[in-house]
Amino acid sequence: MGIKSVLFTVMAASALMVSAKPLTVSSPDNSISLKFDTDKGIAQYSVERNGKTILNPSRLGIDIKDGVDFSEGFSVARSSQDSHSETWRPVWGEEAEIADNYNELRVTLAQKKLAPGRTLDIVFRVFNDGIGFRYEFPRQKDLGDFTIMNELTEFAFADNHTTWSIPAEGYRFYEALFRELPLDSMGYVSTPVTLRASDGTHMALHQANLTDYAAMNVEATPGSNTLRARLTPWMNGDAVYVTNVRVSPWRTLIIADNAGNMALSRIMLNLNEPCAIENAEEFCKPQRYIGVWWCYHMKTATWEAGENHGATTENVKRYMDFAARHNFGGVLVEGWNHDWATWDFSFTRPYEDFDIAEINRYGREKGVALIGHHETGGKLANYERQMADGMKLYKDNGMHYVKTGYVGDLLDDKERHSSQFGVRHYRKVIETAAAHNLAIDNHEPVMPTGLQRTYPNLMTQEGVRGQEWDAWCPEGGNPPSHTVTLPFTRGLAGPMDFTPVTFRFENPVMPQTHVNTTLAKQLALFVILYSPLQMASDEIENYEANPGPFQFVCDCPTDWERTVFPEAEIGKYITTARKEKGGDSWFVGSATGDEARVANINLAFLDPGCTYRATIYRDGENANYDTDPYPVIIEQKDVTSDMALNIPQGRSGGCAIKLTKLSK
């Protein structure tokens, strides 16, 4: 099991008197309180933090197809409260231990006049850093299977906060750039939505444990501070068929003092179920990886077989040799299977010049894992027919990783990725992969919701505008602010397979498009953009040409004991410091957006009284993303926890630092 230690758990249930007075539940530290009541039969909740309104009374309810809605005529039939306090250890993560402390309020609602005999439960959990709640639909005489058309859930924020969001629809909308807008101008957006109040309070609205439901999006209305939930529907307009799974995902709102604390909240993980894979630690191993991949984007090789085929036995062995020499655990290989010419994929038939058994034998000898690839082109029926056989082929060859992909606007040309249809498929893949001891890197996913707590084999996901946009995006590549926005937006939903570490900035295929950072910032992104499977994505020749800076990447772990954010402002700059798991070293990534600045990195996270040797990789003189991204200065300095490092960064520049403990 992934949980190694449950320190203590207290569950204290107490039936409360039914009363017209609001029911209240507070966080363990009393900073956040949530009130629930019904007003003229409408269920509503509100939230305060330190006496300040976070959410005004906000409606709750469900719009059901055919029959009486779960929307009005409510009264409280009963309620109860619980408390929970536990520390658990994820199989991998940004920290080795996660505290899960909350107080819970369960409300059972009846609709005495409209649907006597039927009840709806709403469960609220209040943590020190936010809230979560979900609907529960216990099977009952008057409630069997039913269809949800929409949720009536509202989030009535106290002000027209500054927000960061991406649209909820359109081709590849999960790969849009996050837009900074006033809350009321966001339109119809996907979650997570990040919000900043004028007093500096940072909040993030998202969901946890999306199991057999549709993704929740939210809609803003000009002139209003209230966001309304809207579920991604099936193409026939229905949103969710409620059958065996009788609960909604948790709706979550992180509430924190600053951007860094918001990003450290683990509410989403805490609202997922404990690990369900007994032997997860044996095969869900964090790794640095490289890939026969960027060559396709740079058109120096092809996915399909032919003269320039990338996935040949010989070329993969060359990548494996490089990985072994440079301490990388895996090599991703795309283009290994029939038929990339037609996108009519076989998942069991390698191209003739790709000897899967020999490559795996070679990899084992070198200590390098072959990471397989299942691009489905969004053709689910084709994939589901072959999925188990395709995964068995990998298992029989001793493989433990697969990248999956769903390129295309709609799944099977009919349903959206974030619909219940998509969610059901992705779950089937996670479970089938687990049964074959395979870990997944899921591209074109539904937005992640923390399922990796239960299924640590869901190691990383895309659903992010990654580095590949710097290869072919017609508008010229990701802007400098993008990567200093992601940790506080998409990153809140979990690991991102962004694939950083470009070392060659010229793009011969699309010269106007390129990576808009300095080289030192690319190193920093290896720490900043969290993924337990972390890719250095450039072609290996470009690393061979620049071994000095590349050493940082070869040294940098991808699994962590602790994470802190010494300084951060969304879209402007970030410094992330992470302590390696099972060791004493710290790794720091610091980056700026459009503006050059001097990072002020307070080293208070180091053990007091100890000296550390800092190896610093920083922007060289005049390094800037737009004039000269290449210069990197590598220098060493001995430092202690009472010091700060002031490090100049060029436009879209950065620095990476390895801190090795010299004395206890």
Catalytic residues: 468
**What is the residue type of 168?**
A
Site for ligand NOJ in 106-135 (CB under 6 A): none
Q: Is 462 in the site for ligand NOJ (CB under 6 A)?
A: yes
Site for ligand NOJ in 372-391 (CB under 6 A): 375
CB-based closest residue to ligand NOJ: 375
- Whether 503 contacts 549, CB under 8 Å: yes
CB of 304 to ligand NOJ, least distance (A): 12
Total residue length of the chain: 664
CB of 171 to ligand NOJ, least distance (A): 13
Q: Which H or E run includes 421?
A: helix 420-435
CB of 375 to ligand NOJ, least distance (A): 4
CB of 373 to ligand NOJ, least distance (A): 7
Q: What is the DSSP letter of 16?
A: P
Angstrom CA distances, 530 to 468, 488, 514, stand at: 17, 12, 22
d(CA 624, CA 156): 42
Q: Which is nearer to ligand NOJ, 445 or 654 (CB)?
A: 445
Site for ligand NOJ in 340-379 (CB under 6 A): 375
Q: Is 470 in the site for ligand NOJ (CB under 6 A)?
A: no
Q: What angle do CA 287, 405, 373 make, to 5 degrees?
A: 55
Q: Which H or E run includes 439?
A: strand 439-442
Q: Which is nearer to ligand NOJ, 386 or 546 (CB)?
A: 386
Q: What is the DSSP letter of 91?
A: S
Total binding residues for ligand NOJ by CB under 6 A?
7
CB of 296 to ligand NOJ, least distance (A): 6
Beta strands in 313-400 (DSSP E): 330-333, 369-375
CB of 407 to ligand NOJ, least distance (A): 5
d(CA 664, CA 661): 8
Per CB under 6 A, the list member of 49, 206, 266, 443 interacting with ligand NOJ is: 443
d(CA 348, CA 143): 44
Q: Which is nearer to ligand NOJ, 166 or 570 (CB)?
A: 166
CB of 474 to ligand NOJ, least distance (A): 16
Three-class HEC string of 209-220: CCCCCCCEEEEC
Cβ neighbors of 440 (< 8 A, separation 6 or more) are 401, 402, 403, 404, 429, 430, 433, 457, 458, 459
d(CA 185, CA 165): 11
Q: Is 441 in the site for ligand NOJ (CB under 6 A)?
A: no
Q: Which is nearer to ligand NOJ, 137 or 289 (CB)?
A: 289
- Whether 102 contacts 83, CB under 8 Å: yes
Per CB under 6 A, the list member of 104, 468, 561, 619 interacting with ligand NOJ is: 468
Cβ neighbors of 474 (< 8 A, separation 6 or more) are 510, 513
Angstrom CA distances, 8 to 84, 87, 272, 626, stand at: 9, 8, 18, 54
Q: Which two tokens stand for residue 327?
A: 């301490």
CB of 285 to ligand NOJ, least distance (A): 21
Site for ligand NOJ in 393-422 (CB under 6 A): 405, 407
SS3 call for 306? coil
DSSP character string of 234-271 = PTTS--EEESS--BPPEEEEEEESSHHHHHH--HHHHT
**What mask, x for binding ligand NOJ by CB under 6 A, covers residues 273 to 292?**
--------------------
Percentages helix, strand, coil for the chain, rounded to the nearest 5? 20, 35, 45
Q: Which is nearer to ligand NOJ, 286 or 405 (CB)?
A: 405
CB of 135 to ligand NOJ, least distance (A): 34
CB of 443 to ligand NOJ, least distance (A): 4
d(CA 31, CA 619): 42
Half-sphere exposure (CA, 13 Å, Cβ side) for 462? Answer: 23
- Whether 2 contacts 277, CB under 8 Å: yes
Per CB under 6 A, the list member of 184, 334, 567, 580 interacting with ligand NOJ is: 334
Positions touching ligand NOJ (CB under 6 A) are 334, 375, 405, 407, 443, 462, 468
